[in-house]
Amino acid sequence: MKLIIQPDDGVAPVVRAIEKAKKTVDIVIFRFDRREVEQALKAAVARNVVVRALIAHTNKGGERRLRKLEQRLLDAGVTVARTADDLARYHGKLMIIDGGCLHLYGFNYTKLDIDQSRSFGIVTRDRRIVQEALKLFEADALRQNYTPGHNRLVVSPENSRALLTAFLKGAKKQLLIYDTQVSDNAIQKVLQERARAGVEIRIIGALEKSLNDVKVRRLADLRLHVRTIVRDRSSAFIGSQSLRKLELEGRREVGIIITHGHIVRKIQAVFEQDWQRRSRKQVA
């Protein structure tokens, strides 16, 4: 398992993964303006790699761009499918290489997300998780129902509330949270209960309600575009879903629960650096 840290790592890990593909690339797209990634996908088709792109039926302010992207990819020989309109948004960000390597991102394929925002991505070859992600891709591409089959792949709206609630409730000492807007009432009750039990809780982002003993800070000098939770220095969640009701219950969001200690420690180190970060305005 590998960790991608944005904006430090940039677009290179995405492009390299596509360039190394030998048989297949399956990619889910919500927002997209990275020409390097588009060119890599077209080059993959040219060397006889089967490329399938599942593109969101809509996104706020960018539907025309999505339709133009669809046409360009179709012209290049990519198999293109469009998500259904049964959910408010299809907001997950994932890519599967050769059916055996999953890239799951908190960022979109955009300059804003990759070059100017704090975000993370995970690369894993865990066979069962990769197969589960493929099952999800196939279900959404064919507009069929998806039934979760792995308790570490967090998929909204099917299992995210249950898995993330259990993940938070399992905290014994500490919760470190990146989230642009924690606002779900049930989740906030869990956080308050954990804080009362003596769990240290710090949030970089925003919290709808002020909770006793829960500390909140804005991220300085970077745009925040990641949803991540580190629990007790031993496990972590990275995904596309905020702890908001809509993203838990009304949209397609995808995340992963991580138990690899070295990955968790890296995420925690970045969090601590960001927690201590002072904006340039404060320093000036």
Mean pLDDT across the stretch 67-96? 96
Q: Give residue 43's pLDDT.
A: 98
Residues 29 and 9: their CA atoms lie apart, in Å, by 20
Structure tokens at 201: 């809780």
Label residue 97 by pLDDT band (50, 70, 90). very high
Q: Give residue 90's pLDDT.
A: 95
Structure tokens at 236: 């972590």
* pTM as predicted: 0.95
Q: Which of 149, 159, 131, 112 is nearest to 254 (CA)?
A: 159
Residues 173/231, Cβ–Cβ less than 8 Å: no
Q: Give residue 279's pLDDT.
A: 57
Query: Who wins on pLDDT, 127 or 284?
Result: 127
Does the structure show a pLDDT above 60 at 126?
Answer: yes
Mean pLDDT across the stretch 110-134? 98
Q: Give residue 284's pLDDT.
A: 31
Q: Which amino acid is at 39?
A: Q
Mean pLDDT across the stretch 180-186? 97
Q: Is 229 exposed, middle or buried (0-12, 13-18, 19+ CB in 10 A)?
A: buried
Q: Give residue 63's pLDDT.
A: 87
Q: Give residue 60's pLDDT.
A: 84
Label residue 152 by pLDDT band (50, 70, 90). very high
Mean pLDDT across the stretch 158-183? 98
Mean pLDDT across the stretch 255-283? 87
Q: Give residue 281's pLDDT.
A: 44
